[in-house]
Amino acid sequence: MSWLGVDVGGTFTDLVLFDRVSGSLRILKTPSTPRNQSDGILTGMGLLGIDMSGLERFVHGTTVATNTALERDGASLAVLTTTGHKDVLIVGRGNRMAMYNIKAPPIRPLLPRSRCFEIDERIMADGTVLRPLDEAQVERVADDLIKAGVEAVAICFLHAYANPDHERRCAAIIARRMPNAVVTTSAEVLSEYREYERFSTTALNAYVAPRMKKYIGDLRTRLLQAGSLAPLSIMTSNGGALPAPLVEALPVLSMLSGPAAGVIAAGHIGAMARYPDLITCDMGGTSTDVCLVRGGEYGMTTEGRVGAFPIKIRQIDINTIGVGGGSIASRSSGGFLTVGPRSAGAFPGPASFGRGGTEPTLSDANVVLGRLRLDRPLGGEIRLDKQAALKSIGELAEAIGITTIEMAEGILRIAAVSLAGAIKEVSVMRGIDPRDFALLPFGGAGSLHAAEVADELGMRTVVVPPLPGNFSALGLLLADSRRDFVKTHLSRTSETGVQDVRQRFKELISAGEKELSEGSAGSQGRQYLASLDMRYSGQSFELSVSCPLDVADMETIEKKFGEVYAARYGATTKAPIEIVSYRIAIWQISEKPVLSPPESSGRSIETAITGQAAVIFGGISHDVPIYQRELLPPATRFPGPALVEEDGSSTVVPPGWDAMLDHVGCLVLNRA
Amino acid sequence: MVIDPITLEVLSQALISTVREMRATVCRTASSVAIYDAKDFSCGLFAPDSQVVAQSEDIGSHVVPLPWSVRSAMEKLGSGLAPGDVILVNDPYSGGTHLNDVTVIYPIFKDGKLIFFPAVRAHWADVGGMVPGSMSGKATDIYQEGIRIPPIKIIEGGKTNEAALELMMSNMRVPEERLGDLNASFASCRVAEKRILEICDRYGIDQLMEAVRLDMDRAEARMRASIDRLPNGTYYYEDYLETFMGGKFEPLLLPLALTIRDDRMIADFTGASTQVPFPVNSTAAVSAASVFIAVKSVFDPAAPLNQGSFRPIEVITPPGTIVNVQRPAPAGSHGEIRKRVIATMIGALSQVAPSQVAGDLCRTSFHNLLGGFDTRAKREWVHYEWSAGGNGAFAEDDGPSVMAPIDWGDLVTVQSTEVMELRMPLLVESSRLAIDSGGAGRTRGGLAMQRGLRVLAPEARYSLLADGAVVPAFGVLGGMSGFPVGAWIDRDGEIEDFDSPGKISGHHVEERAMVMIRSAGGGGYGDPLERDPERVAADVEEGYVSEQAARQLYGVVLRPDGSADAAASDRARQRLRGLRFHIATVAAADSFEAGAVSRRRVIRLNPRDAAAIGVIEDELIEMDAGVAASLRGWVRIDSNVPKGCLPIDERACAIMKIKVGDKVELRRILSSVRPRVLFADAAE
């Protein structure tokens, strides 16, 4: 009886297997197989020796949807839109992507303009029909689409959130004429106003859907062939896992699949370890994701993007910065030093990976300083070449006129400042003091840098969770089911009855329940969370205000809006208040693995030390002990400088910090 | 004081981060929608000698002129500053932009010594004046644009000057909101003070000041290195702002002489039109900042924004002209001067760095206002819209269509149809790229936006304040012009044009009529006859270029399946080359004629030459030698000019990089304006 979480990343595929009988967790890291991600998964499952018949749950974090969109490798797509508006997706919002650059390259739209077809129909803002749908024209366009070999069709009509009838009828015709094509309508993806953002979300969904469908179908078949009947769920960007058939139809929900799982795990572990206020720092090879978790709750946003394209799906508010282990350090005209966003990536990788990379990276700096060590191969396969690291860092040092060691420490410092900057964006810049939070690093490189990043921000606690190298995969097993629904209906609070609000929530819930049941989601233990997008009349951005389903009167809603507004902008105004959109999150709480506390008997600090290493801090070489995390006794403090090693990750405990394994197995670093 | 290179990097990041935090604070606490939604504000950190140390980076038009305000305030009040003093200023004539931009300057002291000034300039939604919002297209002097605040101590020794504050607030609409904006600026500066003092505590004041000095020096070195790569010399261009006087067209000349001297650059606007009693003029700060935006955008978009990078660039703006407005002329609208300064910079730089420039871009701020009183809904409504135009083509790629120009940062320029229709009695019938609007070229200029807005209220009024409606964006290296800005009323196919293109004030529009608006197209780059025929075919397939334009401008013949017919296209291109009208230049002392207030270039042609190209008196045409930007002038048919001769002055030769006697191509600007505009008479 076991549950499996599988997170596929750019370089590695991470597996976490929870044995329900013994309560044990087993992990594995194996190289990803970008051509077909399921190859790597099956390999990993084989290596773990999973009993297929005993597998009860398979939760998957996948980059198929994101990569398909970023690599422009999706379906042959067509968009059908309202007459007069074929350029919504081609023009976007007319903003500039490259500041101050007279040679800003034109944005390559998701599909050629010649694949945007105008259909005669028009619905008004209030949902009334101005011009009926010209069905004969849809039939004629279908002929063209068939001739052009179109595989996916996005139907994007103006004001479809107010009245989806034309979109539905158009979709029915296209589906009848093109039974093998994926057909998506804007109102089913996102029943929210602002056409560019809704159309973009819809078109992206259609664009990636055929690939996603094929991938999930293929994975399911192979699991079946291997003897597993476990239901397959996919992690989605809002932090909830959904049954695979639902995500097949709405793959745009899974754009942040892996990163969302990491935040879920952080929230869960943070609660267990009694750190409800944390900032996550998921550091990989090319980038780092940070997210603020307060009182166990992470923020949500609808301002996501994939490449240049907006996705208005509600997702976890994660801030990404282009600094990771593979980030290249370089010097530009005038002598400005930078670390990232250019990255050596997985190939050729850092100089020390011995795959042909020559430019100095953050990983190389860690190798030079003795923090990344040579005798533990990374991900089971990469052996580090210290000479190559010394050479690459040395060359940059010479150009600047400092020593190699100063250069390596300098690269780490600049990276720490950049990472601190990314954290400031989600904290300080929103009026939140990061010193009230613990830093929770994970990912391959997170715990190497965490203490220095914390120092930069004045944070005094770093919580390195269990399995930091496979943390997102663990999060997959900790996720509940969640689906967010939205509907735009603009009205002033003064002209809206509270019973209308309650009725709209009710309608959203019943539509949502219908979709979930069609997607074969179970219906036990449902919870509903309602919120309203509100603003003062005249503003163009809304604030999300949570609202009880059975809200008693409009004054309660207005008062709550005033509080949220004041918290964000400092003061309120007397302008009329508007409700713009209604939101419902449908939750289904899932059973979670219970993590066993760390073993204490027979362990001691002394026996956890398996070696010594020369590590440089502040230009001085220290002989530091190397602790094996799996041998550490709980509740026993040890001082820095020290290295703590485990599979898939190492933690640096600098001088001035100490560390201790806590009661749930987190390695907690404190500023002494 | 010696500082190691890593600490230098850490400290310069710390300063930038401080400015970002200032910015976030303004966003969080301001009361004006224009500030927290449209981000119409900027923050900066200044050294005691008023040099800008670090700036926020978003909207160039706002950020880059900020140092001028600080400098002029410091000149007046700098010597008597004490802890607890805070300065307030909005005077355009003292280094500002327009009255709506109100600047707070906040001295920070450490151990009794002045060490930094954070400053915040924010666009206040109203500063008094003749109309709500303060900026009016009808202003004839600055007093109609709101209250002028010279640099004053609004807080002195920690005590707010309540009298001054009350006087100010009594002259503004919605004063409580303005007070909120002012407090947001104070809060932002206080955050900076806190951070600066923290940095001092951690690294020491000496180390911090040394980092500031080095940071500016290396930014300067970087800018000097960019300029030093260019050959020495003086390069020229000229362009026009558009006005109408008594219904007659009056182009206002903006000439530029750009001198490269080793690692320095001098942009001299001597000869610019005198200032006019319309909101066209702008300040020296805006003009200088625009020069800088152009240089940064062409040579080094990633360059840091501090005083060091400004140092190698000198800008000369004669007082009392449209680029250096003096009392009492209005200064409310500065977007057009900015764009024209950038255009002249591109035109001049095309002579010296042809591979690094692009065709002219966007051309105008394109302010459209449509609104009125909806008697059915019983409410006032105003729709404000500023769709971007096409950007210029460049050596490597086509110009982006409908994208904010370089001085606008990441501002959103295309408004959501659904949002508009939810709020206004308007139906957006169409919102499409305007076919053929991008200037033809080896790479094509970006396309303009064309929108049809149908009025659903009993009546409405339409106003437009735009340039580029007569003189369109120019192409470079043989590239052609983009389409000019256009606006007209469509009543079921019956078209009503305006007789003062680009300048429309409160034109009555009845229910069901449709206001059509089109932004400007971008200029092309290189000869269109050299464009890859397959790319032309693809442009036709995608609807960016018409089949007719493919044939007539690009010489590309398409097969029935839409692919390019290479052989037929070769022949067509040869024929088109042969049809081009080349004419020999002869020396002339002066090629300008006087208008009501300004001068304009005229192109004198023998009647038979004019007939051969098909141009008429007063028509705007262009001269082009295909190696830099094309040069425009208005046709004067003159039988005293010998046939086959084009008299031009020395400056025109320099602009086109030719010698007298060389031949140049003369061509019509195909996208000419309807109806023909008539010149205002010369002043007596």
Q: Using a CB-CB distance cutoff of 8 angstroms, which residues of chain A are in contact with residue B388?
A: 94
CA distance B242 to B365: 13
Residues 398-437, chain A, touching B (beta carbon < 8 A): 400-402, 406, 409-410, 413-414, 417-418, 421, 424-425, 428-431
**The dihedral sign for the CA sequence B272, B276, B281, B285:** positive
Q: Do B300 and A333 touch (CB under 8 A)?
A: yes
Q: DSSP 3-state assignment of B60?
A: helix
Is residue B678 very low, low, confident or very high in pLDDT (cuts 50, 70, 90)?
Answer: low
CA distance A659 to A439: 14
Q: Are A227 and A53 in contact (CB under 8 A)?
A: yes
Please name the amino acid found at residue A102: I
B388 touches chain A (CB under 8 A): yes
Retrieve residue B327's tokens.
């009392």
Q: Do A94 and B449 touch (CB under 8 A)?
A: yes
Backbone torsions φ then ψ of A565, nearest 5 degrees:
-65, -45
CA distance between the termini of chain B: 65
CA neighbor of B73 nearest in space, from B96, B57, B56, B53: B96
Question: CA B150, B151, B155, B161: dihedral to nearest 10 degrees?
Answer: -20
**Which residue from B6, B219, B419 is facing A410, i.e. has the nearest CB?**
B6
A104, closest residue in chain B (CA to CA): B400
Backbone torsions φ then ψ of A487, nearest 5 degrees:
-150, 130
Q: Do B410 and A99 touch (CB under 8 A)?
A: yes
Q: Are B189 and B4 in contact (CB under 8 A)?
A: no
Q: Do A99 and B10 touch (CB under 8 A)?
A: no
Residues 153-192, chain A, touching B (beta carbon < 8 A): 158-159
Residues 6+ apart with CB under 8 A from A608: A627, A628, A631, A632, A633
Q: Using a CB-CB distance cutoff of 8 angstroms, which residues of chain B are in contact with residue A568?
A: 28
B61, closest residue in chain A (CA to CA): A100
Residues 54-73, chain A, touching B (beta carbon < 8 A): none
pLDDT value of residue A523: 65
Please name the amino acid found at residue A8: V
Pairing outcome for strands A122-123 and A129-131: antiparallel
The string of DSSP codes covering A387-400 is HHHHHHHHHHHHHH
CA distance B475 to B630: 6
Residues 6+ apart with CB under 8 A from B190: B106
Residues 450-489, chain B, touching A (beta carbon < 8 A): 452
Q: DSSP 3-state assignment of A331?
A: strand
What is the pLDDT averaged over residues B97-117?
Answer: 93
Q: Are A471 and A27 in contact (CB under 8 A)?
A: no
Retrieve residue B433's tokens.
């790229």
CB pairs under 8 A between A and B: 220
B6 touches chain A (CB under 8 A): yes
A620 touches chain B (CB under 8 A): no
Residues 228-267, chain A, touching B (beta carbon < 8 A): none
CA distance A171 to A151: 14
Q: Using a CB-CB distance cutoff of 8 angstroms, which residues of chain B are in contact with residue A538?
A: 33
The string of DSSP codes covering B545-597 is S-HHHHHHTT--PBPTTS-B-HHHHHHHHHHHHHHSEEEEEEE-S--EEE-SS
CA distance B505 to B519: 18
Q: Do B418 and A195 touch (CB under 8 A)?
A: yes
Q: Using a CB-CB distance cutoff of 8 angstroms, which residues of chain B are in contact with residue A418?
A: 13
A82 or B78, greater pLDDT: A82
Backbone torsions φ then ψ of B359, nearest 5 degrees:
-60, 160
Q: Do B418 and A125 touch (CB under 8 A)?
A: yes
Query: Radius of gyration (Cα) for chain A, nearest Å?
Result: 26
pLDDT value of residue B684: 42
Sheet harboring A241-243: ordered strands across? A25-31, A12-19, A2-8, A55-61, A232-235, A241-243
A101 touches chain B (CB under 8 A): yes
Is residue B676 very low, low, confident or very high in pLDDT (cuts 50, 70, 90)?
Answer: low
A648 or B126, greater pLDDT: B126
- From A444's Cα to the closest Cα of chain B, the distance in A is 25
Q: Assess whether pLDDT exceeds 90 at residue B48.
A: no
**Which residue from B293, B396, B416 is facing A103, i.e. has the nearest CB?**
B396
Helix (H), strand (E), coil (C) string for A530-582: EEEEEEECCCCCCEEEECCCCCCCHHHHHHHHHHHHHHHHCCCCCCCEEEEEE
CA distance A326 to A359: 10
Residues 6+ apart with CB under 8 A from B38: B123, B411
Q: Using a CB-CB distance cutoff of 8 angstroms, which residues of chain A are in contact with residue B418?
A: 125, 158-159, 193-195
Q: DSSP 3-state assignment of A161?
A: coil
| Percentage with pLDDT > 70 across chain B | 97
Q: Are B448 and B362 in contact (CB under 8 A)?
A: no
CA neighbor of A13 nearest in space, from A349, A383, A476, A327: A476
CA distance B81 to A508: 61
CA angle B527, B530, B533 (to 5 degrees): 130
Give the number of other CB atoms < 10 A from CB of residue A538. 12
Q: Do B60 and A158 touch (CB under 8 A)?
A: no
CA angle B71, B76, B81 (to 5 degrees): 95
Residues A244-282 as b/e (b if ≥16 CB within 10 A, e otherwise) read: bbbbbbbbbbbbbbbbbbbbbbbbbbbebbebebbbbbb
Give the number of other CB atoms < 10 A from CB of residue A320. 15
Q: Are A206 and A77 in contact (CB under 8 A)?
A: yes
Instruction: Check residue A345 and give left, alpha or beta (phi > 0: left; psi -120 to 50: alpha).
Output: left
Q: Do B413 and A95 touch (CB under 8 A)?
A: yes
Q: Assess whether pLDDT exceeds 60 at residue B387.
A: yes
Residues 6+ apart with CB under 8 A from A11: A31, A32, A284, A285, A346, A379
Retrieve residue B279's tokens.
């909101």
- From A118's Cα to the closest Cα of chain B, the distance in A is 11
Q: Using a CB-CB distance cutoff of 8 angstroms, which residues of chain B are in contact with residue A429?
A: 20-21, 24
What is the pLDDT averaged over residues B17-33?
Answer: 86
pLDDT value of residue B671: 58
Least confident of A195-204, B298-307, B587-596: B298-307
pLDDT value of residue B682: 57
C-alpha distance from residue B81 to each of B91, B119, B668 (Å):
20, 15, 60
A411, closest residue in chain B (CA to CA): B6
| Percentage with pLDDT > 90 across chain B | 75
Q: Do A194 and B414 touch (CB under 8 A)?
A: no
- From B651's Cα to the closest Cα of chain A, the distance in A is 26
Q: Are B193 and B108 in contact (CB under 8 A)?
A: yes
CA distance A226 to A485: 36
CA distance B69 to A540: 30
Q: Are A279 and A293 in contact (CB under 8 A)?
A: yes
Average pLDDT value for chain B? 92
CA distance between the termini of chain A: 44
Give the number of other CB atoms < 10 A from CB of residue A564. 16
Q: Which of B39, B223, B413, B417 to mutate to test the interface with A (most CBs of A within 10 A)?
A: B417
CA neighbor of A102 nearest in space, from B299, B459, B282, B442: B299
Backbone torsions φ then ψ of B561, nearest 5 degrees:
-80, 5
pLDDT in tens, A336-356: 999 988 998 777 889 998 888
Burial class of B659 by CB neighbour count within 10 A (0 to 12, 13 to 18, 19+) = exposed
Looking up tokens 């924010």, which residue turns up? B122
Pairing outcome for strands A461-464 and A481-492: unpaired
Q: Which domains are delineated in chain A?
A: 2-68+213-254 (3.30.420.40), 76-210 (3.40.50), 328-403 (no CATH), 481-590 (3.30.1490)
A87, closest residue in chain B (CA to CA): B432
B490 touches chain A (CB under 8 A): no
Q: Using a CB-CB distance cutoff of 8 angstroms, which residues of chain B are in contact with residue A571?
A: 29, 31, 180
pLDDT value of residue A282: 96
pLDDT in tens, B241-297: 999 988 899 999 999 999 999 999 999 999 999 999 988 999 999 999 999 999 999
What is the pLDDT averaged over residues B82-89?
Answer: 95
Q: Do A402 and B5 touch (CB under 8 A)?
A: yes
CA distance B564 to B558: 5
Strand ranges in B483-553 using DSSP code E only, listed in sequence order: 486-491, 494-497, 503-510, 514-518
Burial class of A134 by CB neighbour count within 10 A (0 to 12, 13 to 18, 19+) = middle
Least confident of A99-103, A280-284, B61-65, B348-352: B61-65
CA distance B480 to B399: 13
- The β-bridge partners of A496 are none
Task: Tell me which residues of chain A have a pLDDT lower than 50.
Answer: none
